[in-house]
Amino acid sequence: MKIGTYRLRPLKWVAILAVLAMVATACGGDDADEAPATQATQAPATEATQAATTTEAMMEEPDEEMAEEDATEEMTEEMDEEEPESALATEGTTTTVAPGLVRPQVLEDIPFVFSNIAQTASLDPAVAWSSDGMLFVRSAYDTLLEYPPGSQPAIVQPALASEWSTEDGLTYTFTLRDDVNFHDGNPFDSTDVVKSLERIQAIGQGPSTPLRNVVSYEATGPYEVQITLGQPDTFFTGLLPKVPIVSAEAIEANATADDPWAEAWFAENEAGSGPYVLDTLAADMITLNGFTDYWRPFEPGTPTRVTLRTDPDASTAVLLMCQGEVDSIGGIGPDLVDQAVACDGVKALIQPRFGLGTVVFNQLADGPISDVRVRKAIALAIDYDGWIAYLNGRAEPTTGPLPPNAEIGPVPDVIRQDLDQAKALLAEAGYGGGGPDNILFTISYAGLAFLSYEAFFGTLLTENLKELGIGVDVQLVGWPELVQLTKSPETTTDLAYLILNMTSTDPSTVLKSAYVTESWADQGGYNWAYYSNEMVDELTAGVSGITDDEERGLVLRQISDQIIADQVAIWMPQPIIYQPVLEKWDLLFEPLDFVVQTRFFHARNTEMGG
């Protein structure tokens, strides 16, 4: 087994879209509906992801780009040959700060404005566990290890830890950097790591998910930490880029008897060592400034002033982008991206996505959907081909609860529409004879307002279920309202749209986030379905400890089959990452992360030296 890299199956339709890209560009690209099809790329079979490709790059520098891809593949092959065969005795590498770095750094004023449809409810890295929260956390905090920009290749590399090793796959020893300072002025050492892990586990919200297998940690020296697992975990180091480290002194300084982990203070403040320092926090905007004492240099063109603005109506963000006032937008639908890239100075960023739309059924709801036959009938009624057509073909058919383009072993059959079987199941459940003129019962569906494909799903669901005699009450709300709605099985709707992504090279992160009992939404997780199955819990907990790829794939298939048998959700193809950015920026989104994440420190303004 190779532990260093993680391979994901390529998107099969990309070559066709790439050809269409050249044709559309040559014809002038006036049709907004066709323009996005000019931006497709695929993940090479030898790596987890590929850097974004724009039509402009494809047209102007095809030979150079192909040469770079060939070089990347050659480098990957060489790395594969050098990787150790043991999945347990692994070792990290050491990197050093650029020689001659003078701190504090003198930073140019290079602003970057990112628009999102919602703002995080908390800045606390032990609480924030959604795309809006991660935008802030990834900016203000560092982690022991990290993925390279764009997760290409998906191999962890040093960050706050310069080296790491394990002899038995249970105890990991990390050597820490000795040249890092926190924003509060305190130097970083092993005490901060231990206190950060302890705090995350004690608070026990979503960010504790990567640490569920961690049973102990101790500082074995000022700049050395040992972390011990309950069982071997093939993917453990790949989880650490999601574990932010905070200043232990800040915890102690702001803790109270009633609030021993300073949650109230961290909700509105920060104490990280990341590249950006919190400047202002408002109801609809967060601003951050470059940290002049950062241990890595701000290369030419790197943003030094970041604004996270909130535009619940994403069309407002598109308008501002077309006026040059917004540099990048996260998580908007393909129709709005089409509008944005039609503006001068805007390009589309294309990358693979390792996730899928998961329209969860409330498993604790009363009424017809408490019957698995009704849930299966509803899932069979969906026009999946029509959905992919709506996405302009930028998605693959789904096969169940795991991303279809991840290497997960044998996969279930592709999910297809089957109205006859749907009607038969409804009749068996006692709901036969329904139709457009005979609505038997009504279910509720919640999705995000101003996120066009979630709104469109409500329309598709309404039309498809009408044929079965099922009505649909569509509720489109903002992200904070949707999170609050799903916080309790008594308040959540019958169906709710949730986008689930792999957040590391471990495909079971999707299962751990949304299908195990301890991830129920009322406990801070993404099990919005309130699903609980003892076998799923047990097998999921052990997946990452299986070192044999084939054996792990069979277990993942067993888990998937059970979740499908219980019809926990309707699994919808999710479009690839296709988001607008101003042409002056070189940046990558992070496919192995929450929805449409980018790390601003790795962006470069090409007009300002980047």
pLDDT tens for 423-479 read: 999 999 999 999 999 999 999 999 999 888 999 999 999 999 999 999 999 999 998
437 domain residue, yes or no: yes
Q: What is the mean pLDDT of residues 134-154?
A: 94
**Residue 240's CATH number:** 3.90.76.10
Boundary (domain end) residue, out of 245, 263, 281: 263
Q: What is the mean pLDDT of residues 239-252?
A: 98
Task: Choose the weakest-confidence range: 120-124, 140-144, 402-406, 511-515.
Answer: 402-406
568 and 438 together in one domain: yes
394 and 507 together in one domain: yes
Separation CA 476–CA 478 (nearest Å): 7
330 domain residue, yes or no: no
| Local confidence band at 331 (pLDDT 50, 70, 90 cut-offs) | confident
Separation CA 488–CA 114 (nearest Å): 31
C-beta neighbour count of 363 within 10 angstroms? 21
256 and 139 together in one domain: yes
Q: How many domains does the chain have?
A: 2
Which carries the bigger pLDDT value, residue 558 or residue 23?
558
38, pLDDT greater than 80 = no
360 and 254 together in one domain: no
135 and 249 together in one domain: yes
According to the model, what pLDDT value does residue 94 have? 39
374 and 255 together in one domain: no
435 and 561 together in one domain: yes
423 and 526 together in one domain: yes
| Local confidence band at 147 (pLDDT 50, 70, 90 cut-offs) | very high
84 domain residue, yes or no: no
Range of the domain at 199: 115-263
According to the model, what pLDDT value does residue 98 have? 57
Boundary (domain end) residue, out of 219, 234, 263: 263
According to the model, what pLDDT value does residue 422 have? 98
Which carries the bigger pLDDT value, residue 2 or residue 122?
122
According to the model, what pLDDT value does residue 28 have? 38
360 and 218 together in one domain: no
342 by DSSP, 3-state: which?
Answer: coil
364 domain residue, yes or no: yes
User: Dihedrals φ, ψ of 68, to 5°?
Assistant: -65, -40
52, pLDDT greater than 90 = no
According to the model, what pLDDT value does residue 29 have? 37
Q: What is the mean pLDDT of the chain?
A: 86
66, pLDDT greater than 70 = no
Give tens-digit pLDDT for 246-283: 999 999 999 999 999 999 999 999 999 999 999 999 99
According to the model, what pLDDT value does residue 99 have? 62
430 and 563 together in one domain: yes
According to the model, what pLDDT value does residue 77 have? 42
Query: What is the DSSP-derived secondary structure letter of residue 149?
Result: G
Q: What is the mean pLDDT of residues 404-408?
A: 80
Query: What is the DSSP-derived secondary structure letter of residue 188?
Result: P
Query: What is the DSSP-derived secondary structure letter of residue 545?
Result: G
According to the model, what pLDDT value does residue 49 have? 33
Give tens-digit pLDDT for 335-368: 899 999 999 999 999 998 899 999 999 999 999 9
539, pLDDT greater than 80 = yes
User: Dihedrals φ, ψ of 293, to 5°?
Assistant: -100, 20
Q: Residues with Cβ < 8 Å from 307, sequence gap 6 or more?
A: 111, 112, 113, 114, 285, 286, 287, 288
258 and 369 together in one domain: no
- Share of residues in the chain with pLDDT > 70 (%): 84
Separation CA 19–CA 15 (nearest Å): 7
Separation CA 139–CA 134 (nearest Å): 8
Give tens-digit pLDDT for 203-237: 999 899 999 999 999 999 999 999 999 999 999 99
**Residue 540's CATH number:** 3.10.105.10
According to the model, what pLDDT value does residue 550 have? 94
> Cβ distance 422 to 470 under 8 Å?
no
Instruction: Please name the helix (run of DSSP H) or strand (run of DSSP E) that holds residue 604, with its range, or none.
Output: strand 604-605
Alpha-carbon torsion 134, 138, 143, 148, what sign?
A: positive
For residue 308, give both structure tokens: 């996270």
561, pLDDT greater than 90 = yes
User: Dihedrals φ, ψ of 229, to 5°?
Assistant: -100, 160
Q: What is the mean pLDDT of residues 53-65?
A: 35
287 domain residue, yes or no: no
C-beta neighbour count of 370 within 10 angstroms? 14
Query: What is the DSSP-derived secondary structure letter of residue 406?
Result: B
448 domain residue, yes or no: yes
Boundary (domain end) residue, out of 240, 263, 286: 263
- The DSSP secondary structure of 378-440, one letter per residue, reads HHHTS-HHHHHHHTTT-S----SSS-TTB--SS-PPPP---HHHHHHHHHHTT--S-BTTB--
10 by DSSP, 3-state: which?
Answer: coil
Separation CA 412–CA 398 (nearest Å): 9
Give tens-digit pLDDT for 189-205: 999 999 999 999 999 99
13, pLDDT greater than 80 = no
371 and 243 together in one domain: no
237 domain residue, yes or no: yes
| Local confidence band at 96 (pLDDT 50, 70, 90 cut-offs) | very low
159 domain residue, yes or no: yes
Burial 185-213 (b: 16+ CB within 10 A, else e): ebebbbebbbbbbebbeebebbbbbbbbb
192: left (phi over 0), alpha (psi -120 to 50) or beta: alpha
156, pLDDT greater than 80 = yes
